[in-house]
């Protein structure tokens, strides 16, 4: 009886406190990257390709907000002018969510050499995605959802309609070579000096560099003579990341 009473008392407290307890992962790539982006005042939006039910973009926003707010304080030699600029950059940053909301596309070509994926896998829907973000208290005014297959949504028209000009973080969770190739072609014009590119499935296909995200990135980066992509952080069993460094004039 006492146990039941305690459960009824404690459960509401847990639900209440969960709205305030930080869920930040100190070792996440996004959190570490945010320190660099904020300190160096890198401007641009957050772009995620393959958002599923929203967990990743929710976590990214929480981590980034905490880091940017720390940099909005005048400390460690940071001037008031610097803090105001960081505030502006954060206030202007939007979070773009690209997803088909129909799962993975047809698996063919090189992607068919893997055994982990099937057409329609990782399927969610936009309504549930938005519900999950709302429940998490994600600032929906900062959210831009771009539904559709990447071949249809990763276009110049989308950039123009959303005044999408720069990317601070590009999070690619496409799984497949074909999808990653499309996404990288889309974000090429959005790179700025310091853009962080995160590959969620870098070590899929048994880490074969001739398949998946690795192959798409290798082919794409080799063509960009003005850019060097510096190896950055790894996270968990699959993720890898790079920082784009501009070497042109």
Fold of 25-246: Rossmann fold (3.40.50)
Please list, in sequence order, all residues whose beta carbon lies within 8 angstroms of the beta carbon of residue 173, skipping any fewer than 6 positions away. 48, 49, 50, 51, 52, 56, 200, 201
What does the domain layout of the chain look like in residue ranges? 25-246
> What would the pLDDT profile of 98-126 be if each residue is shown by its tens digit?
999 998 888 888 888 877 777 777 788 99
Per-residue pLDDT of the chain (249 residues; tens, 9 = 90+): 444 443 344 334 333 333 433 455 778 999 999 999 999 999 999 999 999 999 999 999 999 999 999 999 887 778 889 999 999 999 999 999 999 999 888 888 888 887 777 777 778 899 999 999 999 999 999 999 999 999 999 999 999 999 999 999 999 999 899 999 999 999 999 999 999 999 999 999 999 999 999 999 999 999 999 999 999 999 999 999 999 999 987
Closest by CA position to 100, among listed 176, 4, 208? 176
> What would the pLDDT profile of 56-100 be if each residue is shown by its tens digit?
999 999 999 999 999 998 877 788 899 999 999 999 999 999 999
pTM for the whole structure: 0.88
Report d(CA 1, CA 9) in Å as an integer.
13
Closest by CA position to 211, among listed 200, 199, 203, 223? 203
Calculate what percentage of the chain has a pLDDT beyond 70.
90
> How distant, in Å, are the alpha carbons of 94, 145, 148, 224 from that of 195?
15, 21, 25, 14
Q: Is 207 left (phi over 0), alpha (psi -120 to 50) or beta?
A: left
């Amino acid at each position: 009886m006492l146990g039941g009473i305690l459960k009824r008392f404690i459960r509401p407290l847990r639900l209440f406190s969960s709205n305030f307890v930080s869920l930040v992962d100190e070792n996440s790539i996004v959190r570490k990257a945010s320190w660099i982006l904020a300190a160096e005042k890198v401007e641009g939006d957050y772009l995620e390709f393959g958002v599923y039910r929203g967990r990743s973009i929710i976590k990214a926003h929480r981590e980034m907000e905490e880091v940017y707010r720390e940099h909005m304080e005048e400390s460690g030699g940071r001037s008031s002018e610097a803090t105001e600029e960081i505030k502006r950059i954060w206030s202007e940053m939007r979070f773009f969510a690209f997803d088909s909301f129909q799962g993975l596309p047809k698996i063919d070509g090189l992607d068919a050499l893997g055994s982990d994926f099937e057409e329609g896998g990782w399927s969610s829907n936009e309504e549930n995605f938005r519900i999950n973000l709302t429940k998490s208290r994600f600032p929906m005014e900062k959210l831009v959802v771009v539904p559709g297959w990447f071949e249809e949504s990763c276009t110049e028209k989308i950039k123009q309609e959303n005044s999408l000009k720069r990317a601070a973080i590009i999070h690619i969770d496409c799984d497949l070579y074909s999808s990653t190739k499309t996404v990288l072609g889309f974000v090429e014009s959005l790179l700025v000096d310091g853009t962080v590119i995160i590959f969620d499935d870098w070590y899929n296909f048994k880490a074969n560099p001739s398949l998946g995200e690795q192959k798409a990135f290798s082919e794409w980066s080799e063509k960009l003579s003005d850019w060097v992509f510096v190896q950055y952080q790894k996270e968990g069993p699959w993720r890898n990341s790079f920082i784009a460094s501009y070497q042109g004039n």
